[in-house]
Amino acid sequence: MTRMARRTRRSRHRMAAAVAATLGAALVAGCADDGGGGAAERAGSDGRTTLTVGLFGTFGFQEAGLYEEYERLNPGIAIEQTVVERNENYYPQLLTRLASDSGLADVQAVEVGNIAEVTATQADKFVDLGERPDVDPGDWFDWKWQQGTTADGKTIALGTDIGPMAICYRKDHFEAAGLPTDRAEVSRLWAGDWRKYLDTGKRFMADGPDDVAWVDSAGGLYSAAIASAESRYYDADGDIVYQDNPDVRAAWDIATTAAEEGMTARQEQFTPPWDKAMNNGTFATLSCPAWMLGYIQDKGGEQSEGLWDVADAPRPGNWGGSFLGVPESAPHKEEAAKFVAWLTAPEQQATLFEERGSFPSSPSSYDTPTVADATHDYFGEAPIGEIFARAAEGIPTQHIGPKDQIIAENIGRSGVRQVEQKGLSPDEAWDEAVKAVENALGR
Amino acid sequence: MRETTTTGTDGAGAAPRDAGARDAAAPRPARSHGAPSPAAGGAGRGRAGAAPAPSAAEERRRARRSRRYRRDVRWSPYAFVAPFFLVFGAFGLFPLLYTGWASLHRVSLTAPTDMEWAGLGNFTRLLGDEFFWNALGNTFSIGVLATVPQLLMALGLAHVMNYRLRGSTFFRVTMLAPYATSVAAATLVFVMLYGRDYGMINWALGAVGVDPVDWQNGTLSSQFAISTIVIWRWTGYNTLIYLAAMQAVPRDLYESAALDGASRWQQFTHVTIPSLRPTILFTVVVSTIGAMQLFGEPLLFSPGGSPAGGVDHQYQTLGLYLYEQGWVNLHLGRASAIAWAMFLILLLIAVVAAVVARRLRKSQ
Amino acid sequence: MSVLSPVDARKPRDPRDPREPRKGAAGRPRRRSRAAGAGGQFHGGRIAYLILAVVTAVSVFPLVWTAVAASRDNTRLAESPPPFWFGSNLPRNLEIAWHDANLGLAFLNTLVVAGSIALGTVLFGTLAGFAFAKLRFRFRTALLLLTIGTMMVPPQLSVVPLFMAIAELQWTNRLPAVVLPTLVSAFGVFFMRQYLVRALPGELVEAARVDGANSLRVVWHVVFPVARPAMAVLGMLTFVMAWNDFFWPIIALTQQNPTVQVALTGLGRGYIPDQSVIMAGALLGTLPLLLVLAVFGRQIVGGIMQGAVKG
């Protein structure tokens, strides 16, 4: 009995020791595990420096083969990216990590809606890219360069693409509605005025297929309309003026009219149901900045190939576009800065456009054959280089403020979408939107 | 969030009450303090060298041992509770208080350590903040929609499972499958099932001639849909809790009820339910706390994973509103005030529950 | 027999052990009048089985359909009626999900996180629970009340300062940021205390002490053996909770160093060309716990039910 008991005790000892050891090991492992270390260590095993790239949405660097090319040109470098689809989820994460100086990728993308806030509040967290010998400010549109530069001249992020807008439309649905399908004729339908675009929509809703809407979403239409306005939420002095700005109201009226008239497919952009609607072709037009083409191709899939085409937007505008910056606390600052300079140079921007349709922010590339002669086979060989270059030259210079993103989101969501989804009148919805914006802005 | 508290269910209802009562009744032998008593000498039989006439050296050793023993008895309890309170103090209590401190400041996520005194501004602001009241209302209505049917169904199911059944282990285990499914996985699936245009539920409704429901955009429909995710995940778990409590009901109560001519239904309402009262109260409290903290389901229910809780904030809960204020609008001070408001509301619920529990006990 | 022997440390069989009625179902004569509950005396009728069949179907259907959706592609999922049976894309989708959501690393991280939390909760919970249950010290009641009171503090309440703290410590994306805040739980302490108050006879502790055992030896040789069943239950519950924890991890971690839940959230929000891939990720993230449930189902059910009655 005694021996039995002792043996039990000893084995229990051993078990307990094992438990304690595991706990200790687990804790140590937990504590030792470095932020982002997982990815870095895995790639680091073959002796290369791994540059991490944090992105949102669809940049397409990887798909365009630019990482591979850079890795080929720089044998010691490996590149890995992480992508969050929606910028509204990506951006708080970025701020979080900037605030804590940890968990940052070597290269971080910033969307145009946030760039003003980043330059205003986070400039000291980023490496100055403006003074590098391998970076020439003349390669960019001046407004694009300035957006990534602080008041005292530190350039914290370089422009990648811009989002000159066009309208993507479904030729099959246009034909069914008795509308022209040729892109020049289609462009003429609404040239110069978003109202004409709505008028065409009314014709389409009357004569087109029953289960097909004119436009995907009121929110998307609003984004497009405000993008082509002369100004948006801030005035030239940097004051918030969205409530009284006639440009905002004009864009608002366009979007809410479409919603009220039932011309939208009532989708929310960049969600799985929207993807499915695109796949099933339940809407005829979509305001498409250049970067949207890749998205449509991915989500639309094979069965929609050749059905889409690209026409001019009623008015030129810029929707989206991004910047790349290198955080001060990035593990490989110098390599990353060099990589960003290369990635945003005109040649690579042109390649990205050629492969993925993201339009260069570098006007000097527009005359190169890569851009000027570009067509897109998924979109019926549309001459997208010509179309988007035309749009890019006409982009109005808007003042972007720190809270642009949040204002836009709340006007879109609490305002426009309430007309579309919940049947509020535009006036009621505007009041809701103002309340939501003010609540979001108030500290 | 729900997980953190739900395990609390097994803490079981009667706990705090029993705690005091049992302690008072527990024997507290005098020998646990200080030098060996006669009783201890008796228990120490069989130890070598327990000589009746100890030498001087033995005496010293004994004194030393007894000193060490006293020290040990005196301080070891603190050593045992210390790890818990250290970690808890650092990561539970301190943040709790610091949140209170932060709620009195303006703090932006762009510079979280840069605080600017705001007094009670964040709280007075909440009083007039219709988004806060909306979120509170939603939290309440989703809580009711999720909790009441859940517990009623669990009670009924437990009753069914309390019959002698073939394969009862199988049923019990499959019932737990939703509990083992994470919020994220469960919600992602339900979002697809509840899709407006291509979801299976609308397809099934269409098959029986019902118009498709816009689950996302309706207030009631979205809250109902979110509630079903909660119900799906927790009904089985609560069923097991109730089942365990039912099995603990003394059988002679039923026998005497049967002798009095009570039908099975009467036995259920007159014997089972009253016996389960403490358990029911406790599951209600725990579910309420869980509902109060609802976060993952409504977050992922919106297709983009946005904390706005729908175009009209129609399913934005307090947890989501806190997250939106802090991590989208970047106002950490206001987020802290919302957190404390949630805490105060929970305290209120706890007080009410305690009062109800006391009433309940008196009436028994 | 030595008083330190763990054998006699075992508590007497609990008459309310939920497994008992099942074992007694074969008609073994009951020893105690309170052995079985209400319906235990009746066999379930067809309606009972019907109800249970429906409940089982409802419990399992979303999981099965996750697998169905994961075996299809986006185009098929956008059709009506939705698919009801498996397609051929499962391996492909699983592979994409595994790679895109960084699930391998996520599993490893979650195992470390949930394992550490479960062990910490059990170990520290047992120590403190024992002290509260059987030892006397100053402020015991006050500290116990404090512990009970904090059981209902919502995690939301500590998020802001924790976030500031990890910002200061540069801990974003590191596992200690999610392990440490939940390493102990008030519930764990309370749970163990409730168990030990009843299951651990005071005489046993006294006898061990008289035998010359110091407190550590008492804990090791008396408390742990007695507490083992409850420790197992607590460990299991904590592990499941930590595995599925969501609110704090999605703030503290990112896709680069995720737990499973963070990875799944990222997948739900991420740039994935195909919704079937999202479902494949959900399936992968759920599978480990379902497997554990399938293997240890009986023990887990028993644990939950025991825990329910004990407190």
pLDDT in tens, A20-45: 444 444 444 444 333 333 333 444 44
Q: Is residue C162's pLDDT more than 90?
A: no
- Residue A355: band (very low, low, confident or very high) from pLDDT cuts 50, 70, 90: confident
Of B196, B217, B305, the CB nearest to A89: B305
What average pLDDT does this structure show over C93-108? 84
Lowest-confidence range among C71-80, C239-248, C295-304? Answer: C71-80
State how far the Cα of C290 lies from the Cα of B287, in Å rounded to an integer: 23
Tell me the chain C residues in contact with residue B174 when contact means C-beta distances shorter than 8 Å: 56, 59-60
Nearest chain C residue to A272 by CA: give it: C275
Q: How many Cβ atoms sit within 10 Å of the Cβ of residue C84? A: 9
| Residue contact B15–C190, C-beta within 8 A | yes
* Residue A157: strand pairing partners: A325
CA dist C157 and B99 (Å) reads: 7
Q: Min CA distance, B185 vs chain C (Å)?
A: 5
Q: CA dihedral defined by C301, C306, C307, C309, rounded to 10 degrees?
A: 130
Share of residues in chain A with pLDDT > 90 (%): 51
Q: Do the beta carbons of residue C158 and residue B97 sit within 8 Å?
A: no
For residue C217, pLDDT over 90 is answered with no
Tokens of residue C79, six digits: 């059709």
Output the pLDDT for position A102.
Answer: 73
B164 or A116, which is more confident = A116
Q: Tokens for C293?
A: 């449930």
* Distance (Å, whole) CA B174 – CA C97: 26
Whether pLDDT at C155 is above 80? no
Q: What is the DSSP letter of A45?
A: T
> Among A93, A282, A443, which would you mutate to test the B interface (most chain B Cβ atoms within 10 Å of its Cβ)?
A443
Q: What are phi and psi of A116, to 5 degrees?
A: -65, -40
Single out the residue of B277, B317, B284 nearest to residue B301, CA to CA. B317
A431-435, B196-200, C119-123: segment of lowest average pLDDT: B196-200
Find which of A8-12, A339-343, A374-378 is predicted with most confidence, using mean pLDDT.
Answer: A339-343
- Report which of A59, B5, A175, B41 is spatially closest to residue C245, judged by C-alpha positions: B5
Give residue B248's identity as a one-letter amino acid code: A
- The mean pLDDT of B19-34, rounded to a whole number, is 36
Class of domain C101-270: mainly alpha
For chain C, give every domain's residue range: 101-270
B65-93 confidence digits (pLDDT tens): 777 777 777 788 888 888 898 988 888 88
At B28-68, the pLDDT tens digits run 333 333 333 333 333 333 444 445 566 788 888 888 777 77
Task: Report chain A residues whose CB lies below 8 A from the CB of B333.
Answer: 443
State whether residue C83 sits within 8 Å of chain A by CB: no
For residues A123 and A143, give the distance between their C-alpha atoms in angstroms, rounded to a whole number.
18
Q: What is the pLDDT of residue C124?
A: 93
pLDDT band at A283 (very low <50, low <70, confident <90, very high): very high
Q: Give the span between the Cα atoms of B197 and B188, in whole angstroms.
A: 16
Give residue C272's pLDDT.
Answer: 55
* CA distance, residue A61 to nearest chain C CA (Å): 14
pLDDT at C22: 40
User: What would the mean pLDDT of B251-276 be, rounded to a whole number?
Assistant: 85
Question: Residues C41-49: what's their mean pLDDT?
Answer: 74
C-alpha dist (Å) from residue A100 to A122, B152, C160, C166, C257: 12, 47, 13, 7, 16
- Convert the pLDDT of each residue in A49-93 to its tens digit: 899 999 887 788 888 899 999 999 999 999 988 877 677 778 877
**DSSP sequence for C93-144:** HHHHHHHHTTHHHHHHHHHHHHHHHHHHHHHHHHHHHHHHHH---TTHHHHH
Averaged pLDDT of chain B: 80
The confidence score (pLDDT) of residue C10 equals 35
Of A49-63, B196-210, C242-256, the least confident: C242-256
- pLDDT on residue B357: 81
A275 Cβ under 8 Å from any chain C Cβ:
yes
C274-301 average pLDDT score: 86
Instruction: Check C38 against B246: CB less than 8 A apart.
Output: yes
Alpha-carbon gap: C78 to the closest alpha carbon of chain B (Å): 6
- Rounded CA-CA distance B233/C137 in Å is 42
- The whole-angstrom distance between C256's CA and the closest CA on chain B is 18
pLDDT, residue A154, reads 93
Task: Quote the pTM value.
Answer: 0.80
On the question of pLDDT at B265 being above 60, the answer is: yes
Q: Which residue of A has its CA nearest to C100?
A: A82
Q: Can you give the pLDDT at residue B236?
A: 92
Distance of CA B15 to the CA centre of its chain: 14
User: How far is Cα A389 from Cα A249, in angstroms, rounded to an integer?
Assistant: 28
Domains of chain B, earliest start first: 2-9+127-363 (1.10.3720.10)
Residues of C in contact with A298 (CB under 8 A): 273
Is residue B212 reached through a cis peptide bond, with omega within 30 degrees of 0 on the bond before it?
no
- For residue range B130-180, what is the model confidence (pLDDT) as tens digits? 999 999 999 999 999 999 999 999 999 998 888 888 888 899 999 999 998
Q: How far apart are CA B18 and CA A324, in angstroms?
A: 62
pLDDT tens-digit readout, A299-318: 887 888 889 999 999 999 99
* Interface confidence (ipTM) of the complex: 0.77
Half-sphere exposure of B121 (CA within 13 A, CB side): 14
Q: Do C119 and A19 touch (CB under 8 A)?
A: yes
**Rounded to whole angstroms, how far apart are CA atoms B154 and C128?**
33
pLDDT above 80 (res C64): yes
**pLDDT tens track for C185-203:** 888 888 888 888 888 888 8
**Residue (of C209, C206, C202, C131) closest to B65 by Cα position:** C209
pLDDT at A115: 93
- Lowest average pLDDT, out of B165-169, C38-42, C145-149, goes to C38-42
Interface of C with A in 33-72 (CB under 8 A): none
C161 vs B43, B99, B189: nearest CB: B99
**Which pLDDT belongs to residue B57?**
81
Q: What is the pLDDT of residue B268?
A: 84
Q: Which of residues 276-295 of A touch C (CB under 8 A)?
A: 276-277, 279-280
A-B interface: how many C-beta pairs under 8 angstroms?
80
Q: b vs e for C175-186, b when ≥16 Cβ sit within 10 Å of the residue's Cβ?
A: bbbbbbbbbbbb
Indicate the pLDDT class of residue A221, thresholds 50, 70 and 90.
very high
Q: Nearest to residue B6, comparing CAs of B207, B201, B283?
A: B283
Describe chain B by its helix, strand, coil percentages, rounded to 5: 70, 5, 25
The confidence score (pLDDT) of residue B253 equals: 86
pLDDT for residue C229 is more than 90: no
**A20 CB-near residues (< 8 Å, 6+ apart):** none
Q: Is B260 exposed, middle or buried (0-12, 13-18, 19+ CB in 10 A)?
A: exposed
Confidence of residue C42 (pLDDT cuts 50, 70, 90): low
Phi, psi of A291 (to 5 degrees): -70, -15
Query: Is it the case that residue C112 has pLDDT exceeding 90?
Result: yes
Which of these, C140, C113, C115, C116, lies nearest to C129 by C-alpha position? C140
